[in-house]
Structure 1
Amino acid sequence: MGHHGMDKRFWICGIVVAAAALILGLLVHGLLLRADYQALATLYRSQEQANAQAAWILPAYLLLGLAMTWLYRRMPASDGVDLGRGARFGLAVALVSYVPGHVLAFVGQPLPLSLMLRQVALDLVAMVLLGMLLAWLQPHRRGLLPPP
């Protein structure tokens, strides 16, 4: 197999994962934790200020999707779809990103412990799902179609 460059499959997988990450992010932070954030509105930007910065959401999730795809492809290729491996990969990525990020934000911002724990738990689940999506997409595969 060898190492692939940034081929078509890399970009397609990266963008699909980015889109899924955006949807999960909106679900977790825009829906499930929305009431928590609204109750602590004074700690965050106003809705108007946040809306003015909203364009930054897209490059953030694009970075996440492309970087996860890039890292996943650095691992030795596995045969077929291995969802357990994808889940472990998602867990590992969460443990070096969202989990410490939420804990450190909690140190610097007067957030309730219960909110931080929910942020950690929900983003952990989201990242495990993204890892499983990557395993299902098989970004290592050469062609765009599965072999006959």
Structure 2
Amino acid sequence: MDKRFWVCGLVMSIAALLLGFIVHGVLLAPDYAALGAMFRSDADSRQYAHWMVLAHVLVGFAMTWLYAQGFSGSRSALFQGLRFGLAMALFSTVPGYLIYYAVQPLPASLVAKQLLAGVATMLLLGLLVAWLQPRRKVLAELP
């Protein structure tokens, strides 16, 4: 794992955290607030913020690592990014929200919003990691 991998992983982690904040902290915040005590209060959730950061760092570096394993220089980065993002959504995001729906009394409308926003987030992260291409040679290494 070279320097490019670590930079890509860091960029992906920051992007995942920012997209998560936009989706859950802004767009879906009113839906969560309407559920009352089912979720932590703002004050209580701040005590657990480090776990949220860790989760997004894991997402960023895992996606970077997995993408680097299957990168193909012969295919378009756009296609590969969308395919990878969709695979990640179907592997983690979609099943995760369906499981939450099965075990928590969440409104179907909220779960639908979570699913749509989660898939969109993974597609965007897939495009980003494809654009960053963690295994691409840096310009200085090219002849």
Which structure 2 residues correspond to residues 96-135 of structure 1 after superposition, within 5 A? 96-135=91-130
Tell me the percent identity. 48
Q: Which residue of 1 aligns with 2:21?
A: 26
Q: Which residue is equivalent to 1:140?
A: 135
* Cα 1:145/1:114, change in 2 over 3 Å: farther
Return 11-20 or 72-81, whichever deviates more.
72-81
RMSD: 1.7
Q: Please list every run of at least 4 consecutive aligned residues from structure 1 whose deviation after the TM superposition is greater than 4 angstroms.
A: 144-148
Distance 2:124 2:28 in 1: 18
Stretches of structure 1 lacking an aligned partner (at least 5 in a row)? 1-5
Would you say 1:45 and 2:20 are equivalent positions? no
Deviation at 1:98, TM superposition (A): 1.1
Q: Which stretch shifts more, 44-53 or 88-97?
A: 44-53
Scaled by the length of structure 2, the TM-score of the pair is 0.93
TM-score, structure 1 as length reference: 0.90
Whether the aligned pair in 2 keeps the contact of 1:98 and 1:124 (CA below 8 Å) is: yes
Give the C-alpha shift of residue 48 in structure 1.
1.9
**Amino acid paired to 1:14:** G
Q: How far does residue 76 in structure 1 lie from its aligned partner after superposition?
A: 4.0
Partner residue, 2:85: 90
- Does the alignment pair 1:78 with 2:73? yes
- Between structures 1 and 2, the one with greater helix share: 2
- Aligned pair count? 143
